[in-house]
Structure 1
Amino acid sequence: MEKDNSYIEYNFKISPLQPASDILIAELGEVLFESFVETEDGVLAYIKKDDWSDDILNAIEILSNPNFEIDYDYKEIEQENWNATWEQNFSPIEVDNKCAVRAPFHEKTNVEFDIVIEPKMSFGTGHHETTHMMLQHILNHDFEGKSVLDMGSGTGVLAILAAMKGASVIDAIDIDNWCYLNAKENVERNNCEHITVLEGDASLLAGKKYQVIIANINRNILLEDIPKYVECLTNDGVLFLSGFYTEDIEIITAKCQEFKLKYVSNLERNNWVAVKYTK
């Protein structure tokens, strides 16, 4: 049977916006929605037509929460229209006056680290709080000559900034084929010769060693994979984790401490967190 490369776009209108939009994105991610654009009044969410069904939203609890009013409609978008869709919704961002993440059709900005990301359907344009905070962590850390893993790399934006900051060897891994292909394009676009983009999961880490590991994934996958990260983290190595909420710090930190990692600090943005641990 021929694979359908079309996507379904849901347009959610949310009132009040927070924290409902963050919760909605997290819950949609659990049912195979793979990319999101936050709008002024809600969220655009995308899922492959092959992964979609009429009852796809039945498991989304936030939709029945009486504290929020959430309306939506949806439509099918052919794959060849993705670039036009993203250009319409994608805007550049700037992080701490040091790093810009923009599309090729945006004007170059006068910052130290200028990252160009083709706005395709991959998570990690810098707009989401978790990506933004991970970019902040990278800006504040010394990557010169370091070996780095970017796990759940999406567009590859975090790996690209690590490369721009002097990392010598970088693996960027994502389980999604679309993300894998998009990251390869973005790595080439930003002339990052030291980044190897791989398609797969934590099973690819066997026998590897890294001085810095970056993982921006959802809480449950992090809890499952933290032991694997620790195994391939060098002594005195650093682990940056994000993709979860402030209330999840306790359970994530407990798992890290179980494997002798030390909590150092965390950033917080709209109840999302990005945490730094050391081995």
Structure 2
Amino acid sequence: MDNPKSGGVPRAAHVVLTVDAAELELAADALRQSGARAIEERHIENAIELWAVLGDNAASTAFVDRGRERWHARVEMVDLTASDTWKRYSEPVIVNEKLAIVPAWMSFQDRERFPFVVSIDPEESFGLGDHPTTRIVAALLCRMMAPESSVLDMGSGSGVLSIVAALLGARRVLGIDRAIGAVAVAQRNAERNAVAEVTEFIQGSTVPSGEQFDLVVANILAPVLLDLCDPIVRSVEPGGTVILSGLRINRREEVINRYVSGGCRLSEDLVLEGWCGVVMTKKQ
């Protein structure tokens, strides 16, 4: 990005991508991996616009350069202080009667109402907890996770779902994310929520080998869920649970069929705002 600083004031880029439905997931994931802290979808005639703010870093610069060509990106440089105005409009995410996810900079008057309250600051990472797929998985964790479970969180982002699992009583949570900056952000959020002792975050894009978990969460794009099916299934204990999300409803059957052929059975699914989460149980 040109002129990242003006008069000593840090700069950021407001980015608007124009995509069709087929490229929506890919473009949104590219934004997240490049440091977008919040992404807004706006439906226009025959297309979808993705609005986001990217910080001043190499990943953001590379994305803007290729985004101009592939997705007709419109870019406007703004002061970082101005780009943080989205925080003013952030609201707590009420997942259900048990769980709320609250921006770390916000006071939450209803804290006493909820047994579990997660405080999150995504910083430069992705994951304030308000995306439909995050809400889907958080709700399913509240219903499905047994205390003292070991949990693998693929695509952990800012650590929201790992922290939810820890607060619900997991004895160990391993979060993995391919974004370079996500690990430190997730660790800080774990400390903020007093679950650092049972959570670990590492950078990567592959499922760890040689270890099995009681429960695996994978809130990532449908093509990645399909590619990682075999290693994800291997990483689950027989009789264990896999919660898959990050997929649009039109990819539901494809993903379910792949995991059934990989040795699982469908236990439950949940749809929210056009996004889907599925619960698979690994066969004994």
Please say if 1:10 is aligned against 2:15.
Answer: yes
Query: Residue 132 of structure 1: SS of its match in structure 2?
Result: helix
Q: CA deviation at 1:28?
A: 3.6
Is the contact between residue 41 and residue 51 of structure 2 (CA under 8 Å) also seen in structure 1? no
TM-score computed with the length of structure 1 as normaliser: 0.81
Q: Matched residues in 1 for 2:124 and 2:102: separation?
A: 15
Q: How many residues align?
A: 259
Give the CA deviation at 1:84: 3.6
113 and 255 in structure 1: CA distance in 2 versus 1, 3 angstrom threshold: same
Give the structure 1 partner of residue 90 of structure 2: 90
- C-alpha RMSD over aligned residues: 2.9
**1:267, distance to aligned residue in structure 2 (A):** 0.7
Name the amino acid aligned to 2:198. H
- List alignment gaps of at least 5 residues for structure 1: 64-70
Q: What is the one-letter code of the residue matched to 1:241?
A: L
Query: By how many angstroms is 1:247 displaced?
Result: 1.1
Instruction: Provide the C-alpha distance between the structure 1 equivalents of 2:272 and 2:29, rounded to a whole number of angstroms.
Output: 19
Q: Is residue 180 from structure 1 mapped to residue 179 from structure 2 by the alignment?
A: no
Are 2:62 and 1:51 aligned? yes
Question: TM-score, normalised to structure 2's length?
Answer: 0.80
TM-fit CA distance, 1:75: 2.1
Q: Hey, what's the Cα distance between the residues in 2 that align with 1:6 and 1:278?
A: 47
2:7 aligned residue: none
Match of 1:151 in 2: 154
Contact preservation (8 Å) 2:14, 2:53: yes
Answer with 33-42 or 221-230: which moved more: 33-42
In the TM superposition, what is the alpha-carbon distance from 1:121 to its structure 2 partner? 2.5
Q: Aligned runs of 1:1-279 on 2, under 5 Å?
A: 7-11=12-16, 24=24, 26-30=26-30, 33-35=34-36, 37-38=38-39, 43-47=50-54, 48-60=59-71, 73-76=75-78, 81=81, 84-108=84-108, 109=111, 110-192=113-195, 193-203=197-207, 205-279=208-282
Percent sequence identity is 24
Q: How far apart, in 2, do the equivalents of 1:172 and 1:163 lie?
A: 11
> Residues of 1 paired with 2:178 and 2:140: CA distance?
23
